[in-house]
Amino acid sequence: MMHSWAGEGAPLRLVSRDRKTDDEEAKALSCYGVLLHDAEDERELLLRFVAGRPVSHVTTAFLAWACEQLIARGKRVWVLVWDNASWHISQQVRRWIGAHNQQVKRAGGVRILVCGLPTKSPWLNPIEPTWLHGKRAICEPEGALTMAELMDRICAHYGCRLLPPLEQKTS
């Protein structure tokens, strides 16, 4: 729900639009991403969308999926840089990472090394410029995109496969 404007020769500026009151689609799209760098400075982005909000159990499901992807690429350590979002720093997520790392120590796999960012400093996260360029690239100045169109554009921009969204458990 963005529109854009720009002066002549200037980059687009994104501004939020008001939502229609009868709009039944979700207000936001949640997405987890892992930015991979290799020795030749090639970059790859692993993406998973979330059906619902990115709560702790969805985060742990994403971490497990990402570890499987990293093992398949021959990685042994994942330096995970993230902010202080509640679904990143919850006790459930911290316990899961601790248990995961203990399991990796015994049986092998990808160890997760968490590097937390200071509060309100997203520019220190190496993935943030990637997100910013992606938002600008997929923006539709002429109108709103559906969630399906948005997910398709995001995956096309980053060269990722569109995988089923991670589901939020309901009790």
Which pLDDT belongs to residue 62? Answer: 95
Which DSSP string do the residues of 7-73 spell out, in sequence order?
-TTSPPEEEEPPPPTT--S-S--EEEEEEEE-TT--EEEEEEEEES---HHHHHHHHHHHHHHHHHT
- Whose CA is closest to 11, among 113, 158, 141? 141
User: In the chain, what percentage of residues exceed pLDDT 90?
Assistant: 43
Q: At what angle do helices 56-72 and 91-107 cross, to 10 degrees?
A: 30
- Give pLDDT tens digits for 58-79: 999 999 999 999 999 999 999 9
Q: Are 32 and 62 in contact (CB under 8 A)?
A: yes
Which pLDDT belongs to residue 167? Answer: 87
Which pLDDT belongs to residue 41? Answer: 64
CA 171/CA 155 separation, integer angstroms: 31
- Name 101's Cβ contacts closer than 8 Å, sequence gap at least 6: 111, 112
The verdict on pTM exceeding 0.85 is no
Which pLDDT belongs to residue 168? Answer: 79
- Whose CA is closest to 85, among 132, 32, 22, 137? 32
- The enclosing H or E element of 80 equals strand 77-82
Residue type for position 137: A
Q: How many CB atoms lie within 10 A of CB 116?
A: 12
CA 154/CA 151 separation, integer angstroms: 5
What tens-digit pLDDT sequence spans the chain (171 residues)?
444 556 677 766 666 666 566 666 666 788 999 988 776 667 888 999 998 888 999 999 999 999 999 999 999 999 998 888 888 889 999 999 999 999 999 999 999 999 888 877 877 878 888 888 888 788 776 777 888 988 999 999 999 999 999 987 765
Domains of the chain: 27-139+147-167 (3.30.420.10)
